[in-house]
């Protein structure tokens, strides 16, 4: 499994901060082949939202273990940017979006016919380990003396953050707007900002490198990840198999462990 996208993974940043079998007869088994299982080496290129990247690393490893002739290539980034790349001709076989609107753009372009809801996610306030600025709630994001990072409103985590802040009547004093949630979390881990809004799953993934603070009302601002095989996938059967695997029991187990909610 190969990953492309960010040159530095969040795991590396955290380290720096802390410096199918059938039931038929033997004859049937010898003469029939599962159409979803490649008999020659193949590659499936998966464009996945930054918030899904860590879970998809594990899902890809599990998929490759069950499909030894398949190489999964992961490309992670902001959902909106990934959707734009696909619409402009980037060679994706599968797209997993953090929210519905980027996926809809791909569907509207005729590049996917349908998309399954993969998982749900909610926002959480996050600070560097130890919470040195003494952040207690969402209203602290309006304090001008603090350094605050948010996702840009053009990406799902930014749109959700804007909605949550508006619901609470908070005008955040953002010092930086990032193109994906991983970039926001990285600034928190490195202590470059005092607080930020990220997904709950990102707080879990960062572990002891950050401190999460739950915010009332996040249950009403839910993002729904979606996944689809592209209509022009290089190997449609393998792309469909990856989607099925991810939405099935194996993928669900990984997503549950990462803190994602059920579809």
Query: Does 81 share its domain with 128?
Result: no
Q: For every residue of 23-66, which 3-state class applies, written as one string?
A: CCCHHHHHHCCCCCCCCCCEEEEEEEEHHHHHHHHHHHHHHHHH
Are the beta carbons of 109 and 87 closer than 8 angstroms?
Answer: yes
Whether residues 137 and 230 share a domain: the answer is no
Within a domain: 239 = yes
Are 232 and 131 within one domain?
A: no
Same-domain check for residues 113 and 233 = yes
pLDDT tens digit sequence for 189-208: 999 999 999 999 999 999 99
CATH number at residue 182: 3.40.190.120
149 and 77 fall within a common domain: no
Whether residue 166 contacts residue 153, with contact meaning beta carbons closer than 8 Å, is answered with no
Rounded CA-CA distance 166/160 in Å is 10
Q: Which of these, 48, 88, 67, 57, lies nearest to 228 by C-alpha position?
A: 48
The span from the CA of 205 to the CA of 192, in Å, is 19
Do 229 and 116 share a domain, yes or no? yes
Instruction: Kindly report whether the global pTM for this prediction surpasses the value 0.85.
Output: no
pLDDT beyond 60 at 117: yes
Both 180 and 194 in one domain: the answer is: yes
Domain with 247, as residue range(s), is 2-120+225-258
Mark whether 6 and 115 lie in a shared domain: yes
pLDDT in tens, 19-57: 433 444 333 433 333 445 657 899 999 999 999 999 999
| Residues 46 and 130 placed together within one structural domain of the fold | no
Domain count of the fold of the chain: 2
CB 52 within 8 A of CB 98: yes
| Beta-bridge mates of residue 228 | 95
Contact, 159 vs 165, CB < 8 A?
no
Cα 238–chain centre separation: 21
Say yes or no: 12 and 112 in one domain: yes
55-69 tens-digit pLDDT: 999 999 999 999 999
CATH number of domain containing 11: 3.40.190.10
Taking the CA of residue 75 as centre, how many other CA atoms within 13 Å lie in the half-sphere pointing to its CB?
A: 16
9 within a domain of the structure (yes/no): yes
């Amino acid at each position: 499994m190969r990953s492309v996208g960010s040159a530095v993974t969040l795991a590396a940043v955290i380290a720096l901060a802390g410096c199918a079998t059938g039931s038929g007869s033997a004859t049937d088994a010898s003469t029939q082949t599962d159409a979803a299982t490649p008999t020659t080496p193949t590659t499936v290129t998966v464009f996945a939202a930054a918030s899904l990247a860590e879970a998809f690393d594990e899902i890809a490893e599990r998929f490759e273990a069950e499909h030894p002739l398949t190489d999964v290539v992961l490309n992670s980034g902001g959902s909106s940017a990934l959707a734009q790349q696909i619409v402009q001709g980037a060679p994706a076989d599968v797209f997993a979006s953090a929210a519905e609107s980027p996926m809809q753009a791909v569907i509207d372009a005729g590049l996917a016919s349908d998309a399954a809801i993969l998982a749900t996610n909610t926002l959480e306030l996050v600070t560097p380990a130890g919470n040195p600025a003494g952040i207690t709630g969402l209203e602290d994001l309006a304090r001008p003396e603090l350094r605050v990072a948010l996702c840009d409103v053009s990406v799902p985590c930014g749109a959700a953050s804007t909605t949550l802040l508006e619901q609470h009547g908070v005008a955040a004093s953002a010092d930086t707007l990032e193109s994906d949630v991983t970039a926001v979390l990285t600034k928190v881990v490195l202590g470059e900002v005092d607080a930020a809004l990220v997904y709950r799953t990102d707080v879990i993934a960062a572990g002891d490198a950050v401190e999460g603070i739950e915010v009332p009302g996040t249950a009403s601002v839910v993002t729904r990840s979606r996944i689809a095989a592209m209509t022009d996938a290089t190997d449609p059967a393998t792309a469909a198999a990856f989607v099925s695997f991810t939405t099935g029991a194996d993928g669900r187990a990984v997503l549950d462990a990462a803190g994602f909610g059920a579809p």
